[in-house]
Amino acid sequence: MLNLVRETIVSYAFIERNFNLLKRYLSWEILFFSYSIVNALTIGLIMVGRGSSEDVLYLVIGALIWGFLSVMMREVSDAITWERWEGTIEYTFMAPIYRITHLVGSCLFAILYGLLRTALVLAIMPLFFGEHIDLGNANWLTLVVTVLISSLSFIGIGLMAAIFPLLSPEKGQAATGIIQSMLLLVSGIYYEIDVLPTWLQPISQISPATYTLRSIRAAMLENASVESQLGNLSLLLVIGVLLIPLGFWVFHLGEKYAKRVGRLKRSG
């Protein structure tokens, strides 16, 4: 019991450290946050004057949720990238803590930071779209439940993507972006998956983002209840339960390889 309490406190320490890093690079975070707003505006404005308010909200939801999910994937990877660049990764890996404690702390930070950024962008959107966005029919409970359950899947993907900056500080972050772009293509972020080529559509069925977008759009556009989305939520939960241990295992293999070939040094 005491050991569990200790590891929980250590996980919180990693959350606090990452927030301190945010404050250290606050000007850059403001710049990235501004990009999130501009991206959502650019996507949403495509339908202003061309479609209904539901069409505008359809695209805005895609932009916001993709921003949240990509932040979760990227922040786990960024935690490794920052330590590589600052030369502290070896000390972290040699610290007397379980690796799962380190990664859980980074994952929890990614969820909190992703929720914070998305909530801020969502609060700003009505100032730009006005009558083009109507959130009066939204089911916020279904939205929150879907976001929490889908976080599990994307944390698992983020853990697997984190091995790239572990192996290469120069090119690893770009490889993480490739995974994000592949999910963006097949998951129906800005369009229905029916428009994809026939050979790509089966891939979309294994992407957690597909089911996340379905449930959130149903909640925001159709006031769908949690009960009506149990099918999608169950699939998201199963995918998350599978991806998180798989992510830890893949990261463990990547860490062992990096140690064996001497890739943890900044010059590596």
Q: State the Cα–Cα distance between residues 260 and 247, nearest whole angstrom.
A: 20
Q: State the Cα–Cα distance between residues 76 and 108, nearest whole angstrom.
A: 9
Burial of 131 (C-beta count, 10 Å sphere; 0-12/13-18/19+): exposed
Query: What's the gap between Cα 69 and its chain centre?
Result: 3
First-last CA distance in the chain: 39
Is pLDDT of 268 > 50?
no
| Residue 133 near residue 57 (C-beta atoms within 8 A) | yes
Mean pLDDT score of the chain, rounded to an integer? 83
Q: How confident is the model at residue 90 (pLDDT cuts 50, 70, 90)?
A: confident
| Residue 62 near residue 39 (C-beta atoms within 8 A) | no
| Residue 258 near residue 169 (C-beta atoms within 8 A) | no
For the stretch 39-83, pLDDT in tens is: 888 888 887 767 677 888 888 888 888 888 888 877 777 777 777
Q: Describe the chain by its helix, strand, coil percentages, rounded to 5.
A: 80, 0, 20
What count of residues does the chain have?
268
pTM recorded for the entire structure: 0.83
| Residue 125 near residue 44 (C-beta atoms within 8 A) | yes
Q: How confident is the model at residue 3 (pLDDT cuts 50, 70, 90)?
A: low
Over pLDDT 90: what percentage of the chain? 15
Q: What is the mean pLDDT of residues 135-163?
A: 87
For the stretch 189-236, pLDDT in tens is: 888 888 899 998 899 988 999 999 999 999 988 899 999 999 999 999
Token duo for residue 81: 């990238």
Q: Cite the DSSP H helix spans in the chain.
A: 2-24, 26-45, 53-86, 89-94, 99-129, 140-161, 163-167, 172-186, 201-204, 208-222, 230-261
pLDDT of residue 51: 67
Residue with tokens 């209904």, as numbered in its chain: 52
Question: Bigger pLDDT: 268 or 57?
Answer: 57
**Residue 100: φ, ψ to 5°:** -65, -30
For the stretch 156-187, pLDDT in tens is: 888 888 888 888 777 777 777 888 888 889 98
Question: Bigger pLDDT: 4 or 157?
Answer: 157
pLDDT of residue 1: 56
pLDDT of residue 241: 92
Q: How confident is the model at residue 131 (pLDDT cuts 50, 70, 90)?
A: confident
Q: Domain coordinates of the chain in residue numbers?
A: 4-261
pLDDT of residue 142: 94
pLDDT of residue 182: 87
